[in-house]
Chains A and B, each alone.
Chain A
Amino acid sequence: MPQSPKNDIEQQLKTLETQLETQLKKLGAQINQEIFMQLKNTYLGRNGKLAEIMKTMKQAASADRPAIGKIMNTVKTNIEQRIAALGNRTGGGSTTGQAPIDLTAPGTTPKLGKNHPITQMIYAIYDIFESLNFEIGEGPEIENDWYNFDALNMPTDHPARDMQDTFVLPENLLLRTQMTAVSAREMEQRKPPVRIISIGKTFRRDPADISHTPMFHQFDGIMVDEHINMGHLRGLLHTVMERIFEKKLRVRFRISYFPFVEPGAEFDVSCTICDQKGCPTCKGTGWLEMGGCGMLHPKVLENVGYDPMKVQGLAFGFGVERPVMIKYKISDIRLFYQNDLRFLQQF
C-alpha cells in the first residue's frame, strides 16, 4: 500500500541522515576542503538532497504540513551542524588529513609589540657601554642653570649659550639642552675613577623640520681617571661606533669648540651609505658628523669636585636619532615622534 506523503517524507529524511552518517564514517579523518564542499553541496545545496525532499512537501495534506515542517527543520539543523563541524577542521591555513601543507599560506602570528626604534638604539648603546664597564647615569629633564650651563664652563655671558636655544621654565629653570648636565650630576656623586654613560631626552627651541625636532635624544659619556687621554677617546669612540653600525669604519677628529672640553673636537665616521664616495646623507663629504667630544675642561672637573691636577677625563655627547636614521636610511626625523604604527613596526 502506498504510503501517505507525510510518512514518506519522514522516511526519506531519516534515510538521508543515515546516509550522511555512513558516508562520514567511511571518510573517517580524510576530510579536506574539497570533500567538505562536496558534502555541503550534496546535502544542503540548492539542488541538494534536502531541497529535493522539501519539494515533495506540496503533496502532503495541509493539516500535516506543520508537523512535517518541524521534522524537516530538526533534520536540516542536524545535518547543517554535522557538516559545519567538519568545516572547522579544515578552516584557515591549517589542514588536517592528507591535504598537503601549503607553505605559502600565512601562519597565525600572535600580536607582537616592539620598542620604539630610538629605545632600541638606546638599549643597544647601554649594552655596548656596559660591556665596557660603564655605569648608567640618569637625571632630571628639568634642569637649572648650574648643571646645564655654569658647571659646564658656560657662564651667563658665554657666547656658547647662544649656540643652543633653550626652553625656559618659571623659577629660572629650563629643559635640559644636553645630556652633559646629567654627566655633571653623576660625576658629582662619585669619586674618580668614573665611567658613566647617560642617555635621554634633550630639548632645544628648534622648529620641527626634516632634521630638527624640539625634543630629541642624546648619549653622553665621560670617563675620568689618572691616565685618560685623547687617544683613548678616539679609540673608545671608534670601537663603539663600529659596534653601533655593525661595520668597519674610518673615523676622524675635527677641531671644534665646546666650552666643557679642552681640547675639543667634532667626531666624524666614514659614511656607511656610500663608502665615502659621496652621497646626499654625507653631503658629498664622505663623512658623517656624530657629535662633539674632547677632554673635560679643568673648570668642569673642578666644578664636580675633582682635582684637575690629578685626573683627566674624556667626554663625548652624540645624538641618538642620527645613527638610527643612518642605519635605517630614515630621511625625516619627525617620523620618530608621529608614532605611526606603519613606521614603528618596521624596526
Chain B
Amino acid sequence: MKAKHLRNRWLGLLPLSLIIFLSGCGQLEMTILDPKGPVSQMQYDLIVYAFWFMIGIIVVVFALFAYMLIKYRENRPGRKDKDYDPNLHGNTMIEIVWTVIPFIIVALLSIPTVTTNYALEKPPEPEAGEEVKEPLVIHATTADWKWFFSYPEQDIETVNYLHIPTDRPIEFRLTSADSMSALWIPALGGQKYNMAGMRTKLYLQADEEGIYDGRNSNFNGEGFAAQTFKVHAEGEDEFNAWVEEVSSEAPELTRERYNELLKPGLTDKETFSSTHLEYLQHHTNEDMGYVVEQYRDLFKEKLHLYEIEKQETWK
C-alpha cells in the first residue's frame, strides 16, 4: 500500500543516517572532542552540555513529528471522525508551555556560556594543589602565508612551527602583517583572529605532551591551505633545552632577512636567535600598512601555487 510504503521510508530515514554516520565516526577520533588542554577542555564541556539539550529537543520534535504523520495521514486505515478537527486553531495553555520551555533552555545555556566566555579571557587556572605559573608570552604574527612565533623573554623566533612547555599557560599575542587570519590549534582550544593594526590575546595550554596541528583557519587567499604549523608540546626541561639550543645555534633574524620573509608566498620552517619585534610592530598604526606598501607589486600577481601540495609544513 502506498501510504504504508511512505511511512516506512519516513521513519527509516533519520535513525538510519545517524547510525551510518556515528559508526563511521566512532573510528575517527575527532580533535575537538578529544581535548588536550584546559581551554579545549572547557570548550568541550560546554559543547557536551549543550549537546544534551539539543538531543532532547531533537528527540521531542522528531517524536511529535512521527506521531502526527502516522496518526493523521488521510488514508490511515481505521481513521475515526474525532481524528479530524479542521477548526482547531489555538490553545493558550499549551502555547504558553512551549514558549516558556525554550526560554528556560536558553537561560540554562546562557549561564555556562557567559562564565566560559569570561574564563577564556584569563590564563587557565592551575589544578588544585599546583603552583600558579606565569603565562609564557608568545607573539604569533601572520604574513601571507606563514607564521612567525616570537618568544620575547627567550629572545628567539620560529617560522612555521611552535614549541611550548606543557602545564603552563601560553599567552599568545596575535597580530598580522597583512590579511586577516586566525590562530587555531583545535586540540588545545578555539581560534582568534590575527589582524594588522590590532593585537588580540589568546590563552591556550597543553596538558599532554605531543605534536598537535595548528593552522590559520580564516581564509586569506591563494596560499591559505598551506598556512599550517605543528605545535610541539614538551616537558619544561625539554622545552628549556630546545630554547638553549636555538639561542646558541640559530642565526639572528636580521631586518633584511625578516623583510625577505614578509614577501607574500610560502616558506619553510626557520629558527632565529632574535625576534622581529624590535624592527616592526605590526599591531601599531604606524606599521600596519608596512607590508602592503613594501610589496604592492608582488600582491598584484597571482602566485599560481601549483606546487602547494609539496609544501614542507604539511608533512
A binds B: no
